[in-house]
């Protein structure tokens, strides 16, 4: 339903996976979670909600101004503030940024 992530910002090579954060995803973009750069307990909280390495995360709607943003992960919709989303590293591959 949305444009592919490649159209916004810097061009992403089709082959090599590129590390980005959840903040870099546009609405409808999906990516694979790599790791969470947060202290143990905070990372656990996120993981209990489904933000696990290898999980597929899709960026959804957001509050006005883009913060916080809703992410679809593991069957749930979880809103994260920008400061948290920035700490979640994801890998884009060509498969994930296709429109769904």
Partner 1 sequence: MSQCGDCRSCAPAGVLEFPAQTGTPRAVAVIGPPNSGKTTLFNRLTGLRQKVANFPGVTVEQHTGVAELPDGRPLQMIDLPGIYSLSPRSEDEQVAYDVLNGLRPDTPKPEAILLVLDSTNLGRHLMLAAPILALGIPTLIVLNFADDLRRRAGKLELTALSAELGAPVVLISARQGEGIGRVFDFLAGALPKPAPKQLPILQDVPKCREWAGRVGAEARYRAPLPPAWTRRLDCIFLHPVAGPLIFLLVVAGVFETIFVAGGPVTDWVQSLFDRSGSWLGAMLPHSVLTSLLLDGIWRGVGSVVKFLPQVLLLFLFIGILEDSGYLARAALIADRTMARVGLQGKSFIPLLSAYACAVPAIMATRTIENKRDRIATILIAPFMTCSARLPVYTLVIPAFLPNRGLLGPFTQAAAMLGLYVLGFVVAVITAKVLKSSVLKSGRTPFLLEMPSYRWPTFQSLGLRLVDRSKVFLRRAGTVILLAMVVLWLAENLPTQNGHAPAIESSLAGTIGRTIEPAIKPLGFNWRIGIGLITSLAARETIVGTMATIYGMEPDTQKMDMQKALHADLTAGGAVALLIFFAFAMQCFSTVAVVRRETGGWKWPAFQFAYMGALAYAGAFIAFHLVG
Nearer to partner 1, 18 or 52 (CB): 52
Closest distance to partner 1 from the beta carbon of 3 (Å)? 16
Query: In angstroms, what is the minimal distance from the CB of 97 to partner 1?
Result: 19
Subset of 39-58 contacting partner 1 (CB under 8 A) = 39, 41-42, 44-50, 52-53
- Least distance to partner 1 from the beta carbon of 73, Å? 9
Q: Cβ(88)–Cβ(46) under 8 Å?
A: yes
Q: Does 98 bind partner 1 (CB under 8 A)?
A: no
The answer to whether 18 contacts partner 1 (rule: CB under 8 A) is: no
β pairing state of 69-73 and 88-92: unpaired
Structure tokens of 59?
Answer: 């960026």
Q: Do the strands 30-36 and 88-92 form a parallel or antiparallel pair, or are they unpaired?
A: antiparallel
Distance separating alpha carbons of residues 11 and 42, to the nearest angstrom: 32
Consecutive H or E run containing 59 = strand 56-62
Residues near partner 1 (CB under 8 A) are: 38-39, 41-42, 44-50, 52-53, 60-65, 67-68, 70, 72, 74-81, 83-84, 87
């Amino acid at each position: 339903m949305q444009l592919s992530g490649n159209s916004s910002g810097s061009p992403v090579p089709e082959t090599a996976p590129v590390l980005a954060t959840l903040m870099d995803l546009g609405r409808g973009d999906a990516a694979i979670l790599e790791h969470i750069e947060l202290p143990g307990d905070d990372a656990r909280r996120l993981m209990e909600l489904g933000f696990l390495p290898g999980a597929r995360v899709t960026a959804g709607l957001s509050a006005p101004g883009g913060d916080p943003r809703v992410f679809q992960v593991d069957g749930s919709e979880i809103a994260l503030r920008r400061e948290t989303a920035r700490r979640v590293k994801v890998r884009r591959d060509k498969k994930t940024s296709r429109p769904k």
